[in-house]
């Protein structure tokens, strides 16, 4: 009797363990099935739509050519799904386009060239592997050719107003030669000599029918893609509010006509610190500023209280709709 009871208890234990294991495996399988079902139900990726027509600086893009259409498609797909970089594009543009746009306008440069700065640096003071620097990515010799001061202490490739002026001078010079803003943009990447060689050997003066190196082949299309997404963000899945952006800065300027041997001490006298001084004047490259006789430097400084985000965000206009769209924000909830 005791032996029989013992076997019964062992059998029950085995059944319970096996049942628990089978249930656990079934539960895991159910969870995996539910996850796959939810993933398939809610995660969808769609091909972004291409525009019926698009232009650069008023010059029509021949989208009827399959290789032109597919080249633009590549850059729109890349920029649509590179979410972090594209969102930063919108955020930074709110702060820096108002600086770039009037300089372009003053020099008679089409407004679309602001998107060239996006293609170059995404409006960030980056340094390329080849040594190009600043928002406009000037190489040192090119920057100096167009009037930028580049020394150990000062690098005006990081001065947005002056580097934009330099870029405008380049654009105007190139346009005198090409009479095409599209070729002007391409030459900013490839160089005038590089574009001239391609034109000479291929007997074509149309960017879209020139065979050029891959970087330049993608360059204008990248600019066009950024323009298209910026002007139609909701169409490409970017539901952005004005409050999402980086607001313009509240600043004033001071002129300096003598040496500053200690920039951190100078900053303290302005009731800021060296970190803030460099934030507003990234063209300063050292701890001192040597001034030649008769020369003046203009330093940009923050207005009182304007380092506060709560103060700066007042520069962002309130809107009932998403950025560059008519869709009301409350209707999208």
Question: If pLDDT is split at 50, 70 and 90, which confidence band does 43 have?
Answer: confident
Taking the domains of the chain in order of start, what are their residue ranges? 1-44, 55-244, 251-315
Of 28-32, 267-271, 285-289, 292-296, minimum mean pLDDT range: 28-32
Torsion sign (Cα): 303, 307, 310, 314: positive
- Out of 2.40.30.10, 1.10.3720.10, 1.10.530.10, 1.20.120.160, the CATH code matching 55-244 is 1.10.530.10
Q: What string of DSSP letters covers 70-90?
A: HHHHHHHHHHHH-HHHHHHHH
d(CA 58, CA 180): 10
CA quadruple 205, 209, 210, 211: dihedral, nearest 10: -170
d(CA 249, CA 98): 11
What global pTM score does this model have? 0.86
How high does pLDDT run on average in the chain?
A: 90
Long-range contacts of 109-112 (CB under 8 A, 24+ apart): 109/168, 109/171, 109/172, 110/57, 110/58, 110/181, 112/56, 112/57, 112/181, 112/223, 112/227
């Amino acid at each position: 009797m005791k032996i029989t009871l013992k076997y019964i208890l062992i059998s029950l234990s085995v059944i319970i363990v096996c049942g628990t294991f089978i249930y656990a495996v079934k539960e895991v399988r159910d969870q995996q099935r539910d996850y796959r079902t939810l993933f398939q139900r809610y995660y969808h990726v769609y091909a972004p739509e291409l525009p019926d027509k698009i232009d650069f600086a008023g010059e029509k893009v021949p989208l009827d050519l399959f290789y032109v259409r597919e080249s633009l498609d590549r850059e729109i797909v890349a920029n649509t799904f590179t979410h972090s970089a594209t969102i930063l594009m919108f955020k930074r543009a709110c702060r820096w386009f108002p600086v770039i746009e009037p300089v372009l306008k003053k020099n008679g440069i089409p407004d679309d060239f602001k998107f060239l700065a996006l293609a170059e640096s995404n409006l960030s003071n980056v340094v390329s592997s080849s040594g190009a620097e600043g928002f406009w990515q000037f190489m040192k010799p090119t920057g100096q050719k167009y009037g930028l001061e580049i020394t150990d202490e000062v690098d005006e490739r990081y001065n947005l107003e002056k580097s934009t002026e330099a870029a405008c001078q380049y654009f105007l010079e190139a346009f005198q030669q090409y009479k095409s803003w599209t070729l002007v943009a391409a030459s900013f990447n490839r160089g005038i000599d590089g574009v001239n060689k391609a034109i000479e050997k291929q007997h074509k003066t149309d960017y879209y029918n020139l065979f050029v190196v891959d970087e330049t082949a993608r360059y204008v299309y990248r600019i066009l893609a950024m323009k298209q997404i910026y002007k139609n963000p909701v169409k490409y899945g970017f539901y952005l509010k004005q409050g999402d952006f980086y607001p313009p800065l509240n600043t004033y300027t001071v002129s300096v006509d003598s040496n500053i041997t200690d920039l951190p001490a100078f900053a303290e006298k302005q009731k800021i610190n060296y970190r803030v001084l460099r934030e507003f004047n990234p063209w300063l490259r050292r701890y001192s500023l040597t001034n030649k006789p008769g020369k003046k430097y203009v330093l940009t400084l923050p207005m009182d209280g304007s380092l506060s985000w709560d103060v700066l965000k007042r520069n962002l206009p309130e809107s009932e709709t998403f950025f560059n769209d008519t869709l009301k924000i409350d209707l999208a909830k």
